[in-house]
Amino acid sequence: MRNLKLYFLLCLVTLSGLDLFAQDIKVASPNGELQVHILIEEGKIFYNVYFDGMQMLQKSPIGIKGKDVDLSSNLRLISKIESKIDERYTESKIKKSDVHYQANELKCKFTNPAKNQIEVIFRLSNNNIAFRYHIPQTGDASNLTIENELTGFNFPESTTTFLTPQAPAMTGFAKSKPSYEEEYVPDAPMSKASKYGLGYTFPSLFHIGTKGWVLLSETGVNATYCASKLSEVSRGGNYKLAFPEPAENNGIGDAHPTLALPGSTPWRTITLGRDLKPIVETTIPFDVVEQQYQPFKGLRFGRSTWSWLLWQDGSINFEDQKKFIDLSAKMGYEFVLIDNWWDARIGREKIAELATYAKKKNVGLSLWYNSNGLWNDAPQTPKNMMNTSSKRKNEMAWMKSVGIKGIKVDFFGGDKQETIKLYEDILSDANLYGLTVIFHGATLPRGWERMYPNFAGSEAVIASENLIFSQQADDTEAFSATLHPFIRNTVAAMDFGPVLLNKKHNKGNDGGNIRRTGETFQIATSVIFQTPIQNFGITPNNLVDMPEHIIKFMKEVPTTWDETILIDGYPGKFCILARRNGEKWFIAGINAEKEEKNIKVKLPMLKSNNVMVYADQTGQTSQVNKSSLGNDREFEFKIISGGGVVLVGE
């Protein structure tokens, strides 16, 4: 009789579709190479990640603790649903314009003794994992403040890291940090503490010895949650998801996010590969998010000149801005960016006059703004325009009336939910007035290129302005440039401001810090660094003091791409990257190592045997030649130390 009762119980479980006795629930990618095993152990949830038969993440925790609600322990599985996702979308602003996203999804719903529920959702595509929590409303409470997210990433002992530290709140220039502008430490042991003891910012790259590589980040962050970071590593290799510091944004807003119920957290993303190719080529930040509003008709992206980078504050005057409008027109560029102080040093009437002058030359103006004066001490104006709804809309209405095409908003200094809401408010309002948006001194974008149609990019990196501020930045430029394609630029558009052709970094090209890299290196960064609006560092004198082929290349290089392929490279050493716009391929290589590199590459993507080859020579002089591929589609070239090579073909 006892055995008969047990038989009937097992039959009921099977009929209900639930294996309540299972301790290990599995989901795999479409090709089967990537697997997640969800383990339920004494009421707590963990996950393990396997790739190509090897364990990449080991017994990592899952769960949330909310105010008076514990969704991390004493949990019981009540349902699991598996499904397939097969979607296609187009997005011109990312590294690949047409994307076919295929994934297997697993939704596991758990309950606690108080009957509160949490749903853990995993999506596995080939080489990528995205997972998040969904919290249903199970009682009268219609919101939940998240006090602790247990989400962890537990790496094997042999792992080394490529991480950048979280900066202390209210530090840096005019108390504007954190702004994602700290140095990376390559190939560091996991035991190494971060510079400030506050963990690390996303994206985060890990090298698991001979097993391969893992990139961590998050996406889908909007006003319903805060942005997150990684904690310091605990004993055993676990990095925990961490919320912003309470002091961020001058203490304004809660460091803990509050979800309206039912509600979902952002997606946490894990990209894996035996080599770095899947890391560089991933589209997972955009695959799992949705557009938040319809784009303003006629939004424009492209190339821009920018006087402030090399000519600095002194160039914010009417005549110098006309010179840069003329420069953009001669280059065939779409924009000019006018930086800080324009309201005081040029004035609104003259800005309107410049916009009219630029329009006649088919050039659009973009204007700089301070995010506000409440959470930073930055004196640059205009300020107190972007932080409140009525002033912001009035300002944007004025911009639309005089023909301004974009804005660049600076000095945010935080990742709290309150601040993420400000980002979203600026973007959504700007779209109504036909303005593209760049954020500077800002957080990492998290899926925003697809979510917000008028979003163009964010700095969130030690960008080109530091080449003006510090000779040390120039001395290490090649090293830094070979990190970004593998880390920062893998997940989001990066407003770096590349291509400084002046040998000396000042207005006259006769003083200041000295460029250590070659001219071809500089133009190569226009391909290697990706963002749909590129604020290039070229200046009017470059039209006469640079080789003709350098200027010709800069007139032709696009800023939007249909395809991206990593050919070879290693973070901090070298990078060879191919991008396609239409039928034309641009293959760019840069070398940060002390010795020149002899490279042999296969280029099966090229239909024609003929290529234009731009290359830095000894002494960092650039040359261009026509050349041909071999019968096996191979091409051999050398890259000098601090130099670059660019191949252009179809």
Please give the pLDDT value at position 373: 83
Task: Give the pLDDT band of residue 15 (cuts 50, 70, 90).
Answer: very low
Q: Report angle CA 48, 232, 128 to the nearest 5 degrees.
A: 35
DSSP designation for 514: B
Q: How far apart are CA 25 and CA 39, in angstroms?
A: 7
Angle between helices 548-556 and 519-528 (to 10 degrees): 10
Q: How far apart are CA 609 and CA 151, in angstroms?
A: 50
Please give the pLDDT value at position 524: 98
Nearest-Å Rg of the Cα atoms of the chain is 26
- For the cut 90, the answer to whether the pLDDT of residue 260 exceeds it is yes
Angle between helices 318-331 and 348-360 (to 10 degrees): 20
Please give the pLDDT value at position 23: 61
pLDDT tens-digit profile of 497-551?
999 999 999 999 999 999 999 999 999 999 999 999 999 999 999 999 999 999 9
Task: Give the pLDDT band of residue 621 (cuts 50, 70, 90).
Answer: confident
Instruction: Please provide the average confidence, as pLDDT, over all residues in the chain.
Output: 95
Please give the pLDDT value at position 236: 85
> Distances from the Cα of 476 to the Cαs of 61, 466, 471, 519, 594, in angstroms?
38, 11, 9, 16, 12
Q: Sign of torsion, CA 459 465 316 342?
A: positive
- For the cut 70, the answer to whether the pLDDT of residue 8 exceeds it is no
> Distances from the Cα of 3 to the Cαs of 7, 9, 13, 283, in angstroms?
6, 10, 16, 52
DSSP designation for 317: S
Pairing of strands 404-410, 364-370: parallel
pLDDT tens-digit profile of 91-112?
999 999 999 999 999 999 999 9
- For the cut 50, the answer to whether the pLDDT of residue 7 exceeds it is no
Please give the pLDDT value at position 276: 98
Angle between helices 389-402 and 417-432 (to 10 degrees): 30
Task: Give the pLDDT band of residue 6 (cuts 50, 70, 90).
Answer: very low
Task: Give the pLDDT band of residue 619 (cuts 50, 70, 90).
Answer: confident
Please give the pLDDT value at position 235: 84
- For the cut 70, the answer to whether the pLDDT of residue 3 exceeds it is no
Task: Give the pLDDT band of residue 4 (cuts 50, 70, 90).
Answer: very low
pLDDT tens-digit profile of 60-86?
999 999 989 999 999 999 999 999 999
List the beta bridge partners of residue 149.
64
- For the cut 50, the answer to whether the pLDDT of residue 136 exceeds it is yes
What phi and psi values does residue 232 have, to the nearest 5 degrees? -60, 155
Q: How far apart are CA 504 and CA 512, in angstroms?
A: 6
Average pLDDT over residues 176-198: 95
Q: Where are the extended beta strands (E) located within 220-325?
A: 229-230, 238-242, 258-260, 263-264, 267-273, 302-306
CA-nearest of 339, 236, 278 to 52 is 278
pLDDT tens-digit profile of 24-35?
899 999 999 999
Average pLDDT over residues 621-631: 93
- For the cut 70, the answer to whether the pLDDT of residue 306 exceeds it is yes
Pairing of strands 364-370, 597-602: unpaired
Local structure of 355: helix, strand or coil: helix
Please give the pLDDT value at position 125: 98
Please give the pLDDT value at position 192: 84
Contact 213, 280 (CB under 8 A): no
CA-nearest of 208, 227, 234, 211 to 152 is 234
Task: Give the pLDDT band of residue 14 (cuts 50, 70, 90).
Answer: very low
Please give the pLDDT value at position 171: 96
